[in-house]
Amino acid sequence: MKDLTKGKEGKVILQYAMPMIIGNIFQQLYNFINTAVVGRYLGYEKMAAVTDSFPVLFAVIAMAIGLTIGGSVVVAQNFGAKNFNQVKRASNTIIIYLFVLGLIFGAIGYFFSDNILRLLDTPEELMEMTTEYLKVMMLGCVAIFGYNGVAAILRGVGDSKTPLYFLIFSTGLNLGLDLLFVLYFKWGLTSIAHATVISNAAAWLLTLFYFNKKNSLLSISFRNLIFDWKIFRRSLSIGLPSGIQQTFVAIGAMALLRIINPFGTAVVSAYGAAGRIDTLISAPAMNFAGALSGFVGQNIGAGLYGRLKRGLKSTLLMSGSVCVALTIVAILWGSDIMRLFVSDDGTNTAVVNEIIEIGRQYLIIICSFYILFSTMFVMNGFLRGAGAVIIPMLTTLMSLWLVRIPVAVFLSEKMGIAGIWWAIPIAWSVGLAGSYIYYRTEKWKKKAVVKERQVPQESVQNPDADKDFTARL
């Protein structure tokens, strides 16, 4: 556990963010490696099948992560306020409701995979293999929800290292199983899905074991789990908008894929490969935003409003610097990285070259505007940590459904596939503008979850404390 209410803001956030960044990089690396293994050893058609299933899986993961945001904010603010009994009740509640939701989402995804893929206008030649792959992946929903829930609770109390250790183990296990199943046993595409499900389940069970046995504050008894309806409603009021936001982003990715699918299997494959590179590059910005949410939550819980803006400025600087460095790498060496995903056996040279060129074009357009993406995510992370989740949801949905999708349709007719790529940074600009305008109003100060807190005497004299806020408590 880590107290984020003390120490120099930038240093505290960086130390808290680094395990999350490393963990997310490992998580994205195994997605990256999964796609590379499929593309190089099973063929670009199989890679297109994985790409077509990804938005559905992203929707599930996005809802899981969104719902855990609410629980993490409740845990962080109560931890910052030293309300440790509420921290434990919140942890129990989060574990229960995420387990149930994981079962529900898994069942829906498994039984309706075929219908969902047809809505995406998945090419007929990809339907059978994509459906089989997706059905297996949906069996892992309970583990996805469970792991993200436990990890969010640990991050809420300042422990971002433990989830990293188990994620690294899971990534290594996933890679080993991929290579074993595909190269040795020759089991094909669905074996990649089985490897992922097994690895996710291992990460979930290990974090749960640690959570229960090694942490006295958070330890739980499965026979005496506490479900607090008040905490559940509060977590849901914060997490559900984020979950809806993330899910609609995923649905937006499905809509985008529906626009892309008619351009053919090579374009879908290129989009899948370049998208993996894109996701890997964007991971640090998303994790800096997550770290800032935890920082904001704890400091609001402690009434230390003076630290918030300094924390935001430091996070924007750190995230932006990393973003610029990775952008340069992607633009200069994008083609070389794309070659990791395709294998030229001499009979498909033209298709391979087409995939590489489309992916290179995507990376140049998208990465050139990553600073907008980074700033938008950090601003939204700040607002979520404060408990103001509606505005990030509205601005994200507006930029996606009123800007990105319509602009993608319009520009794809005028410019071809490049028009779809240009719609993405245009939408980022709109989303950033909406979040920044709300931040400037400072209405987020009224969204605190914690109304009572245990305040050590020395903290009352802290110059960073918001006097009006303290008086209200």
pLDDT per position in the chain (473 positions), as tens? Answer: 667 888 899 999 999 888 878 877 776 776 777 788 888 888 888 888 888 888 788 788 777 877 787 788 888 888 888 888 888 888 888 888 899 999 999 999 999 999 988 888 888 888 999 999 999 999 999 998 999 888 888 888 888 788 888 888 888 898 899 889 998 898 888 999 999 999 999 999 888 888 777 766 677 777 778 888 988 888 888 778 777 777 777 788 788 888 998 898 889 989 988 988 888 888 888 889 989 988 998 888 888 888 999 999 999 999 999 989 988 998 899 889 898 888 777 667 888 899 999 999 999 999 999 999 999 999 999 998 888 878 888 888 889 889 999 999 999 999 999 999 999 999 999 999 999 999 998 888 886 665 555 544 444 445 565 544 333 33
- Cα-only R_g, the chain: 22
The DSSP-derived string for 298-319 is HHHHTT-GGGHHHHHHHHHHHH
| Backbone torsion region of residue 162, taken as left when φ is above 0, otherwise alpha when ψ lies between -120 and 50, otherwise beta | alpha
Residue 61 lies in a domain: yes
Q: Do residues 376 and 435 lie in contact, with contact meaning Cβ atoms separated by under 8 Å?
A: yes
- At 1 the three-state DSSP class reads coil
- At 466 the three-state DSSP class reads coil
Nearest-5° angle of CA 325, CA 330, CA 335?
155
Residue 62 lies in a domain: yes
Q: Do residues 176 and 168 lie in contact, with contact meaning Cβ atoms separated by under 8 Å?
A: no
Q: How far apart are CA 423 and CA 365, in angstroms?
A: 10
Q: How far apart are CA 293 and CA 382, in angstroms?
A: 5
- What would the two tokens of residue 198 be? 């097994």
Q: Which residue has the tokens 């046993």?
A: 185
Q: Do residues 241 and 57 lie in contact, with contact meaning Cβ atoms separated by under 8 Å?
A: no
Number of domains making up the chain: 1
Q: Do residues 377 and 286 lie in contact, with contact meaning Cβ atoms separated by under 8 Å?
A: yes
Q: Do residues 220 and 211 lie in contact, with contact meaning Cβ atoms separated by under 8 Å?
A: yes
Gap between the terminal Cα atoms of the chain: 25
**Diameter of the chain measured on Cα atoms:** 75
Instruction: Count the alpha carbons within 13 Å of 309 in the hemisphere toward its beta carbon.
Output: 11
Q: How far apart are CA 443 and CA 341, in angstroms?
A: 47
| pTM (2 d.p.) | 0.73
- What is the separation of C-alpha 6 from the centre of its chain, rounded to a whole number of angstroms? 27
Residue 170 lies in a domain: yes
CA nearest neighbour of 441 among 402, 386, 397: 386
Residue 78 lies in a domain: yes
Q: Which amino acid is at 293?
A: S
Quick one: DSSP state of residue 400? I
- What would the two tokens of residue 219 be? 């330890």
Residue 329 domain boundaries: 9-472
Quick one: DSSP state of residue 442? T
Residue 103 lies in a domain: yes
- What would the two tokens of residue 230 be? 């008040």
Residue 3 lies in a domain: no
Residue 1 lies in a domain: no
Q: Do residues 432 and 372 lie in contact, with contact meaning Cβ atoms separated by under 8 Å?
A: yes
Q: Do residues 282 and 62 lie in contact, with contact meaning Cβ atoms separated by under 8 Å?
A: no
Q: Do residues 395 and 246 lie in contact, with contact meaning Cβ atoms separated by under 8 Å?
A: no
Residue 343 lies in a domain: yes
Q: How far apart are CA 385 and CA 292, in angstroms?
A: 7
Q: Do residues 447 and 407 lie in contact, with contact meaning Cβ atoms separated by under 8 Å?
A: no
Q: Which amino acid is at 144?
A: I
